Structure 1
């Protein structure tokens, strides 16, 4: 997925994090300078508002400083940043529900990112949200969708299994994908969170 940039580790990161935990402001500044631009770009791609993205990043590193004694951050500092960022983005989605103008604008952004998110669902095969969307399909749409997307059959093979034409398989799949997309977009806060999670979770965060 190409929507986000990866969080690359610093070569001396464990030492810097240990110094951060000891209250070393210079170590904190080094970590901030390294990670904040990458995180800002990633968050901006999701929220599409520079001021909101900057607010999220500033709050993220404020929490890092305030909770610098947290356990386990030396071993996986980038993962720690990711978890805080995820929580802050989730908070943004809660605010989104109360702001209709922002919700409308964000809905178009999430829709444009849908294809990438759907592809990540297929690869991970672990999304409860996707399964809920699939379960709402008609029996024929669901069968065609699962044969092609889950089991990897061709349109021709699916047509033979279902006793229909390849053209009808194509129509079922098109209708199924539209239904799934509509389901996810109607659950806009979940879709938005998933866009962010899949942007970062597949990268080098551990």
Structure 2
């Protein structure tokens, strides 16, 4: 037996294929703000959250004729946004500032005698604090979990 979510999903997917502008507008109106709040809760960034939600709806529009949704449309959209947030975190980790910060940490762990001769520890700690200040709260959490 199909529940209301299944029926709604089938109807929306069908409408996206047959009357895309109306269905897309309805879908955007119904879910954009919810998805933004969800993305913001994960990223803690207004601009990143807005970009992710916009990108999600662009993907829906581009792939509207090939959509095959097994779950509810709501679950599908939230899972899509969650995956896009994870991808965003991965891209942030590969930024030059983060890579430089990680290289400093890695270089400092070569050996205690080498690191003492390579860096003045007070200067290193100061640079480390400055680098951490440039990271968002989520980036700092990711860095701590990695290292």
Pairing of 1:29-68 with structure 2 (within 5 A): 29-68=25-64
Shift of 1:41: 0.3
Secondary structure of the equivalent of 2:64?
coil
Greater helix share, 1 or 2? 2
Contact residue 18 and residue 74 of structure 1 kept, 8 A: no
Secondary structure of the equivalent of 1:69?
helix
| Structure 2 unpaired stretches of 5+ | 99-132
TM-score after normalising by structure 1:
0.44
Q: Which moved more, 1:92-101 or 1:17-26?
A: 92-101
Shift of 1:12: 4.0
TM-score after normalising by structure 2:
0.59
Q: For residues 95 and 27 of structure 1, do their structure 2 counterparts lie closer, same or farther at Cα, with a shift above 3 Å needed? A: same
For the aligned residue pairs, the C-alpha RMSD in angstroms reads 2.9
Shift of 1:35: 0.9
Contact residue 73 and residue 80 of structure 1 kept, 8 A: yes
1:19 aligns with 2:15: yes
- How many residue pairs get aligned? The number is 107
| Distance in 2, Cα, partners of 1:58 & 1:84 | 12
Contact residue 40 and residue 53 of structure 1 kept, 8 A: yes
